[in-house]
Amino acid sequence: MSTAQSGVTPMVQAEGVCKSFGALPVLKGISLQVQPGEVTCLIGPSGSGKSTFLRCVNHLEKINAGRLRVDGELIGYRERGGRLYEMSPRDAAKQRREIGMVFQHFNLFPHRTVLANVIEAPMLVKGQSRDQAVARAQELLAKVGLANKADAYPAQLSGGQQQRVAIARALAMEPKLMLFDEPTSALDPELVGDVLAVMQDLAQAGMTMVVVTHEMGFAREVADQLVFMADGVVVEKGDPREMLTDPQHERTQAFLSKLL
């Protein structure tokens, strides 16, 4: 697969995206594209702005400059006569609904069963009937290898199983884009593989994904594009295998040599 197809609307298109917290500039002009059906892995040192970038894509943070589009639509803003107008919270929520997000800490509702966790948003937000939502949730739980855990509570599951529930919960909203922020960083090493396998299946099924990760094996095998960020800028991006084998930039080399 190529990341340079022409005539296709990118699923994510960031152009010169800037974000500051007070006086602290955190994103200093991020430009990148993610093509539909492709996987982009985002790597870089702690504090480089990876999580902030994902949160901007989801409009959990407002950008200060640049343009951020998902599936061709400006995120959080409308453009009229060359000027940007902030969207109503209601319209922004509608956009956010189409973007699934999975965090390092899975944030399941502890007092609800696995099934109840997965059906909540489709029923509440999408207005699905209980039967509809349950049927879809069972499919998704089977897909992440947890068909027999529907009635369990999160505390009865391993971290890896909880993370797979979190993935099923995000997928239940039928997102067109999935964002993963270090989904395996909080897991015991022996539980990482099952979560990565679920993500790989999802990629193979054609889901567009942006994944912040330190798992270079996953990046090499699954990603179509690798992006290295440092200090709020994209230092280097390209084919994962080429970049991991022969990084062009000194900073990328230094970062990778510490990881590998």
Residue numbers at the binding site for ligand ADP (CB under 6 A): 21, 24, 26, 44, 46-52
- CA separation, residue 178 to residues 44, 111, 248, 253 (Å): 19, 26, 29, 28
Residue 42 Cβ vs ligand ADP, minimum distance, rounded to whole Å? 8
- What distance in Å separates the CA atoms of residue 225 and residue 157, rounded to the nearest whole number? 33
Quick one: tokens of 167? 């993935």
* Residue 21 binding partner per list ligand ADP, Mg ion, none, with a CB distance cut-off of 5 to 8 Å that depends on partner kind: ligand ADP
Stretch that binds Mg ion, among 49-57, 85-93, 122-130, 227-235 (CB under 5 A): 49-57
Determine how many CB atoms are found less than 10 A away from the CB of residue 182: 20
Coil, strand or helix: which one is 215? coil
* Residue 49 binding partner per list Mg ion, ligand ADP, none, with a CB distance cut-off of 5 to 8 Å that depends on partner kind: ligand ADP
Cβ-Cβ contacts under 8 Å for 7 (sequence gap 6 or more) = none
Residue 51 Cβ vs Mg ion, minimum distance, rounded to whole Å? 3
Stretch that binds Mg ion, among 47-55, 85-93, 183-191, 193-201 (CB under 5 A): 47-55
- What distance in Å separates the CA atoms of residue 187 and residue 170, rounded to the nearest whole number? 19
Coil, strand or helix: which one is 113? coil
- Residue 121 or 233: which CB sits closer to ligand ADP? 233
* Residue 96 binding partner per list ligand ADP, Mg ion, none, with a CB distance cut-off of 5 to 8 Å that depends on partner kind: none
Q: Where are the beta strands (DSSP E) in the chain?
A: 12-21, 24-34, 39-43, 65-70, 73-74, 77-80, 83-86, 99-102, 177-181, 208-212, 225-230, 233-238
Residue 149 Cβ vs ligand ADP, minimum distance, rounded to whole Å? 30
- What distance in Å separates the CA atoms of residue 207 and residue 37, rounded to the nearest whole number? 5
- Residue 42 or 203: which CB sits closer to Mg ion? 42
- Residue 51 or 58: which CB sits closer to ligand ADP? 51
Stretch that binds Mg ion, among 32-40, 43-51, 114-122, 186-194 (CB under 5 A): 43-51
Which one of 33, 48, 51, 208 is in contact with Mg ion (CB under 5 A)? 51
* Residue 48 binding partner per list Mg ion, ligand ADP, none, with a CB distance cut-off of 5 to 8 Å that depends on partner kind: ligand ADP
Residue 51 Cβ vs ligand ADP, minimum distance, rounded to whole Å? 3
* Residue 155 binding partner per list ligand ADP, Mg ion, none, with a CB distance cut-off of 5 to 8 Å that depends on partner kind: none
Residues binding Mg ion: number (CB under 5 A): 2
Look at the block and give the residue holding tokens 């996953």: 218
- What distance in Å separates the CA atoms of residue 120 and residue 172, rounded to the nearest whole number? 9
Q: Which residues form the interface with Mg ion (CB under 5 A)?
A: 50-51
